[in-house]
Structure 1
C-alpha cells in the first residue's frame, strides 16, 4: 500500500493529484486544516493536509519519492491506520463469503426467483433463514417449495388487514397520479351498493383533471348515488353535510407527484374532517420498488390506515407487494386485478399472492393461479 500526503487549498484540489499518483482506486485516510508559510508566525496561509492511500500502484506507478514525499516517511499513526484498514477489509471479505454460504445450493432456484421478482434482499435473507430452520437437507424439492410458499404466505397473512369491514363514515383514497384511485373507488362503492345494499356517496377533490371528475360522475350515474365535487378544503364541510344521509362516503383525492413536499400538506388538509374516517394509500404494482419506497417515505406525515395495490394484471413482477407488507405497517386490504367494475378487485388472499410471487400452482403443470374476483 502507498500513502501520500498533499497540502492543498481544499480537498477538491487534491483529487486530480491523488488519482494521477495513486490511481482511481485511491481513498482518503485523513484531512486536517493547517497553516503554512508566513514570516515570524505572521501572514501564514490556511491550507488542508490530505493523506491518501491506494492498495496498488496506478497504471503508471508513481515514483516512490513522490508517493511518500521526499523526507516524509510513513509515521506510526499512518502504520496504525493501515493495520486497521487491513483488518476491516479482511472482516468485510469474511462477511461477504459467509453471506454467500448462507444460501444453500438446494434453495438457489427459489432465491433467484425472488430476486427476479424484485423482492428486497433483506426480505430474501429473512425467508432463507426461516427455511433453514426446517432442516432442508432432509427435504425433497417439492417440500422445499412448500416451505418457501408457507413462509411467504405467512408474511402476507401477518401483513393483511384483519377486517375489511370498516365502521368509518368517510373512506379517502390517496396516492400518486395514475395508480387507479378513481376506478378503485368505483369498485368499492359498487360493492357496497350491490352486495350490501348500502346508501353510498361519492366525493372528489381531484379538480385538476377534468376527466377524473367526469369519470366519477359516470360511475355515480350508473350506481344512482350522489356525487359532490370539492375544489378546496374549506368547502369540504358543506359537501359532507349534503351527503350526511349516506351510510358511507368514498372520497377521491387528487393524484399528484408526492415526491414534491408541497403536495403532502395539500392532501393533509382534506384529511382533517372531524368524522370517523380511514385513509387508504393506493399504489400501483407497476411502480419500481425504489420509487415506491420513496413515495411511501415522503408520505409518512399522511395518516395512512390501510393499503391497496392496483394494476396487478399489468405486471409479471409481484415482489413489491411482499416488500410493502414486510417493511411498512400498512395492512394490505385489497388487490386490484383489472379495469372491470366492480368485479376486478379482491380482498387480500395470502396464498394467492405467495403463489404468484413464486410462480407455482396447485397442479404440476404450473398453469398459473387463476385470477380471483369480487370483494
Structure 2
C-alpha cells in the first residue's frame, strides 16, 4: 500500500494532485486544514493536507505545496548587510522578519541579506511578492540557466542521479515547445539498459540518436551530429580506466559545456568527494535532481557555493517533459519558498 500526503490550497486541487500521482482509484484517508509548510505558515497561510493511499509497493511520500526544498547555506563571505543598507538599531519590524526567516529554515546570513533588500514598509507588511523579489536577487549568483545550447552539452555524475532522465526531459521540452530536435548520444555502455533507455526516449521524441560503446564510436557520433548534442556518460569518474578514453574524447572538443549531475539529498562530504572525482572534466554547471525526494538541499547547495559553480537545471519526479526547470533566480526562490514552479521557469 502506497500512502501519500499532499498540501494544496483547496480540497479540489489536493484531490486532483493525488489522482494524478496515484491514479483515479486512490482512496482518500483524511483531509485536514493545517498551517502551510515553511515561512508561509508563520504568515498565517493555511492549506489542505490530504492523505490518500493506493495499491503500490512504495514508501510513504510527503508532497508539500511545492518542491520540498530547504534553503541553501550561503554562508560564504559576502558584503556586510549594513554596507548595502543603513538599518536602524530600533527597527523591530526588520529584526522580526529576519528572525522569522531564520526560524523558517534560512541560514542567518541569507535571512539578513534578504531582509536588507526590503523596505521598512515591506518588512512591516510581510509581502509575499517582496520576499520573493528579495530572495530571487540574493540567489542570482547561483543561477546558471543557459540562454542557449553549446555545440555539445555533456552530463556527468555518479550512477543513479538521473542523468539519462534529465537529458530526456531537456530534449522533450525542446521538441514540444520549440519544435527543435536535439541529438542524443549515449556513451554509457557500462550500465545495463542505459543505451536502450535513451534510445527509446529518442524514438518517442523522433530525434536523432547514436550509441557510442567505444571512444571511436563516440568521436564519430559527435562529428556527424548536425544539431546541439546532449551526451549521456557512464556513472564513473574520469580516472576510471574503462571510461578514461571516452572522457578524453569529450574533453578534446571545442564548444563543450559539462554539467555535473547530483541528487538533492547528497550529503556535503559525499558532494565534495564527487566534485574532486570529476574535477578533471572541468564541470561548468551543476544539475540538482530528485528535489521531491529530499528533506533538505542545504548541505548540497553549500558545497556548490564553495565550488563557485552555478546551477543550470532543477528536476523533480520522473514526468517527461515535465518536472524540469531552468535554475533562474525566480525558480530557485520558488523552490526554496516551497512554491510550485510555473511555465516561466521551464527550459528555454
Name the TM-score class by shorter chain.
0.5 to 0.7
Q: Give distance in 1, aligned partners of 2:289 and 2:323.
A: 10
Whether 2:161 is the aligned partner of 1:191: answer no
Q: What per-residue deviation string (whole Å, max 9, x for no partner) do you get for residues 205-236 of structure 1? A: 10112221121111011001121111121222
Alignment of 1:164-203 (within 5 A): 164-166=147-149, 168-203=150-185
Alignment of 1:215-294 (within 5 A): 215-243=197-225, 246-256=226-236, 258=237, 262=241, 265-266=244-245, 268-294=247-273
SS at match of 1:164: coil
**Number of equivalent positions:** 246
Query: Which stretches in structure 2 are left out of the alignment for 5+ residues?
Result: 1-41, 43-68, 102-110, 118-133
Alignment of 1:273-352 (within 5 A): 273-352=252-331
SS at match of 1:333: strand
Cα distance change of structure 1 residues 355 and 143 upon mapping to structure 2, 3 Å threshold: farther
Alignment of 1:194-213 (within 5 A): 194-213=176-195
Cα distance change of structure 1 residues 293 and 263 upon mapping to structure 2, 3 Å threshold: farther
Q: Give distance in 1, aligned partners of 2:307 and 2:166.
A: 22
Query: Which stretches in structure 1 are left out of the alignment for 5+ residues?
Result: 1-108, 110-115, 361-367
Which consecutive aligned stretches of 4+ in structure 1 deviate over 6 angstroms post-superposition? none
Q: Give distance in 1, aligned partners of 2:312 and 2:227.
A: 20
SS at match of 2:281: coil
Deviation at 1:153, TM superposition (A): 3.9
SS at match of 1:182: helix
Aligned-pair Cα RMSD in Å: 3.2
Contact 1:261 1:298 in 2 (8 A): no
Q: Give distance in 2, aligned partners of 1:222 and 1:136.
A: 61
SS at match of 1:330: coil
Cα distance change of structure 1 residues 352 and 185 upon mapping to structure 2, 3 Å threshold: closer
TM-score (norm 1): 0.57
SS at match of 1:323: helix
Aligned counterpart, 1:370? 340
TM-score (norm 2): 0.61
Contact 1:332 1:348 in 2 (8 A): yes
Aligned counterpart, 1:85? none
Aligned counterpart, 1:159? 142
Q: Give distance in 2, aligned partners of 1:164 and 1:324.
A: 24
